[in-house]
């Protein structure tokens, strides 16, 4: 593998996309960007990264921030455990390391929410240490380079690639790591045939030589997602909307939601439930259906919009301005908020 590192790095120096986290690759900025880019497309992450780092430009600023403010800035990115762990790890960095990232893979790897890939990315990109950052992009590139049909989502393949990269890391470790990522995100991208004529590693690629690159990588069969039905209530009274906090643990832990129950209720059953909540609806305005897909679950949701005559203490009643500026509302529920006439 050592033969392809120089042409790859040379290609990256010419072709790298201008991304905000590459402008000043401090450990903090690399960390935030890599956490954001988990399960998030680069196009979506750009503006989130800029807003987040403007609001919290340092580890100390993030550690000192209110969790609700941090969650609000993350709103729409999903996978909220990521940002909770960012906040928690920032506190540890301030308390134990004076707000400075340790130049140690093991110390970084021990922080909440940081796995092998993120620790490797921080160490190599920010500190130029020869620590591989092996994600799906890198695994795909290497599977094609090796013409290897081993499923890339197996521990065995990840270990093989990590060990092979450790043995060949060049002196420009940070550039090499970013070049591998860039190649896997662009020329040798997912869900399409690789653009082999543009690839700086084509002369070293067995998949290209054997004509198998487009059929790689192999993956294990996907498990079917569990289906769940929900009825969501968008309740309005005197210009305010009913919200409640989700439980502190589990899916979307601690975030705000519209009141909801399992199953798909008829209008008659919905009115009965509102009565159980001591709410007297003056009008059921409309009902719409929406779907939201999580990693392992699909929510099939019916949203019922209703005017009620009085506010009850079971819920927190917020104005539209408060919801838009203060309440971290997950995308699953924001689908219904966008349909309200609250502007």
Q: Is the pLDDT of residue 95 over 70?
A: yes
DSSP string, 15-32: H----HHHHS--HHHHHH
CATH superfamily of 226-337: Nucleoside Triphosphate Pyrophosphohydrolase (3.90.79.10)
Q: How much is the mean pLDDT over the chain?
A: 95
SS (H, E, C) 293-324: ECCCEEEEEEEEEEEECCCCCCCEEECHHHHH
Fold match between 2-133+153-189 and 226-337?
A: no
User: Biggest alpha carbon distance in the chain?
Assistant: 73
Residue 343's pLDDT band (cuts 50, 70, 90): very low
pLDDT digits (tens, 9 = 90+) for 123-177: 999 999 999 999 999 999 999 999 999 999 999 999 999 999 999 999 999 999 9
Q: Is the pLDDT of residue 338 over 80?
A: yes
Q: Which residues form the catalytic set? A: 34
Task: Average the pLDDT over 295-316 and give the result.
Answer: 96
Q: Is the pLDDT of residue 292 over 80?
A: yes
Whole-model pTM? 0.89
pLDDT digits (tens, 9 = 90+) for 215-235: 999 999 989 999 999 999 999
Residue 2's pLDDT band (cuts 50, 70, 90): low
Residue 331's pLDDT band (cuts 50, 70, 90): very high
Euclidean distance between CA atoms 258 and 243, whole angstroms: 5
Q: How do the domains of the chain map onto residue ranges?
A: 2-133+153-189, 226-337
Supply the CATH classification number for the domain 2-133+153-189: 1.10.340.30
Euclidean distance between CA atoms 280 and 268, whole angstroms: 13
Q: Is the pLDDT of residue 342 over 70?
A: no
Q: Is the pLDDT of residue 72 over 50?
A: yes
């Amino acid at each position: 593998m050592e033969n392809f590192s120089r042409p790859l790095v040379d290609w990256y120096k010419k072709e790298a996309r201008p991304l905000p986290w590459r402008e000043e690759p401090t450990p903090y900025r690399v960390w935030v960007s890599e956490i954001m880019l988990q399960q998030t497309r680069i196009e979506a992450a750009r503006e989130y990264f800029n807003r987040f780092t403007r609001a919290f430009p340092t580890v100390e600023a993030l550690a000192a921030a209110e969790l609700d403010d941090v969650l609000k800035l993350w709103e729409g990115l999903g996978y909220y455990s990521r940002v909770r762990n960012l906040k928690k790890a920032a506190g540890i960095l301030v308390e134990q390391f004076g707000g400075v990232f340790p130049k140690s893979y093991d110390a970084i790897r021990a922080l909440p929410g940081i796995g092998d890939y993120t620790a490797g990315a921080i160490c190599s990109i920010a500190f130029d240490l020869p620590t591989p950052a092996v994600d799906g992009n890198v695994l795909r590139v290497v599977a094609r380079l090796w013409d290897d049909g081993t499923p890339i989502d197996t521990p065995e393949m990840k270990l093989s690639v990590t060990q092979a990269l450790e043995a060949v890391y060049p002196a420009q470790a940070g550039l090499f790591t970013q070049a591998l990522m860039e190649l896997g995100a662009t020329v040798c991208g997912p869900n399409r045939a690789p653009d082999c004529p543009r690839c700086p590693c084509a002369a070293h690629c067995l998949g290209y030589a054997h004509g198998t690159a487009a059929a790689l990588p192999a993956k294990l069969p996907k498990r079917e997602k569990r289906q769940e039905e929900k009825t969501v209530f968008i309740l309005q009274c005197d210009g305010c909307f009913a919200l409640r906090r989700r439980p502190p643990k589990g899916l979307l832990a601690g975030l705000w939601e519209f009141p909801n129950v399992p199953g798909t209720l008829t209008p008659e059953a919905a009115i009965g439930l509102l009565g159980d909540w001591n709410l007297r609806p003056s009008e059921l305005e409309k009902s719409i259906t929406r779907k939201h897909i999580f990693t392992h679950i699909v929510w099939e949701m019916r949203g019922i919009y209703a005017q009620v005559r009085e506010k009850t203490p079971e819920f927190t009643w917020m104005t539209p301005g408060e919801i838009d500026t203060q309440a971290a509302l997950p995308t699953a529920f924001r689908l219904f908020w966008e349909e309200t006439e609250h502007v």
